[in-house]
């Protein structure tokens, strides 16, 4: 399951890109306080703090909260299955990302480090991940994998292009239509490590 994403775009730059949304939403940080952590990050992991965005009236509100709420047995709930669930009354949010990582078992014997694969949008740019907030933490929704992710994992996070994000917050389209994998060719994948050998650095 996806336990690492990237958001290399600095948040100030992201906010300027909200102008491409139609219509451009009014934006504010929760409580009117701009967060200190505006720099981009090549790696965001479970329990790291990251920005999430929700609607309050017609305003898109950003806040910085941790990834993964504690499950009944204490294990972090960092992914949440979307199929068969109704999220109409849930605290729906969007998580900003420009890449995500998947890990697979190495083919070479005795290698402990998993192979690392990095997914980015084939057309470039950033995207949304559909998420939920509980207990002050967010989790990423997952669905059946699309053709780009299926060779690497049997589940994938629900990704949305920039223009479709507000549809998740408003449920302007049916949930089943929104919470599914995007078409083949949406993502390109680069293998950064195979059989314990670093093939490419995910340089900032």
Separation between Cα atoms, residue 10 and residue 45, nearest integer Å: 17
Average pLDDT (73-86) is: 95
pLDDT of residue 73 exceeding 90, the answer is no
In this structure, the strands spanning 79-81 and 76-77 are unpaired
* Cis upstream peptide for 135 (omega within 30°): no
Rounded to two decimals, the pTM is 0.95
Residue-level pLDDT at 21: 82
Q: What does 143-184 look like in DSSP terms, one character per residue?
A: ES--TTTTTT-S-EE-EE-GGGHHHHHHT-S-HHHHSSPPPT
pLDDT of residue 22 exceeding 80, the answer is no
Residue-level pLDDT at 26: 92
Q: What is the pLDDT of residues 124-183, one digit of tens each?
A: 999 999 999 999 999 999 999 999 999 999 999 999 999 999 999 999 999 999 999 999
Q: Among all chains, which residue has been given the structure tokens 């549809």?
A: 167
Separation between Cα atoms, residue 19 and residue 25, nearest integer Å: 8
Q: Among all chains, which residue has been given the structure tokens 């909200």?
A: 18
Is the CB of residue 101 less than 8 Å from the CB of residue 94? no
Q: What is the pLDDT of residues 94-107, one digit of tens each?
A: 999 999 999 999 99
Average pLDDT (26-47) is: 93
Question: Which structural domains are found in the chain, ordered by start?
Answer: 4-198 (3.90.1680.10)
pLDDT of residue 193 exceeding 50, the answer is yes
């Amino acid at each position: 399951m996806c336990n690492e994403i990237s958001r290399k775009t600095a948040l100030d730059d992201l906010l300027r890109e909200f102008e491409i949304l139609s219509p451009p939403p009014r934006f504010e940080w929760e409580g009117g306080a701009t967060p200190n952590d505006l720099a981009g990050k090549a790696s965001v992991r479970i329990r790291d703090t990251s920005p999430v965005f929700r609607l309050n009236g017609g305003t898109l509100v950003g806040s910085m909260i941790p990834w993964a709420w504690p499950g009944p047995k204490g294990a972090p709930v960092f992914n949440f299955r979307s199929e068969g669930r109704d999220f109409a009354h849930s605290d729906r949010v969007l998580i900003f990302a420009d890449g995500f990582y998947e890990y697979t078992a190495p083919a070479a014997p005795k290698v402990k480090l998993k192979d690392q694969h990095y997914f980015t949008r084939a057309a470039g740019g950033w995207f949304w991940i559909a998420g939920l907030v509980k207990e002050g933490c967010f989790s990423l929704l997952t669905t059946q994998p699309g053709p780009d992710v299926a060779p690497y994992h049997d589940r994938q996070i629900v990704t949305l292009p920039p223009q479709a994000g507000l549809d998740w917050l408003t449920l302007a389209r049916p949930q089943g239509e929104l919470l599914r994998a995007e078409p083949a060719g949406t993502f390109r994948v680069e293998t950064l490590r195979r059989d314990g050998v670093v093939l490419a650095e995910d340089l900032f």
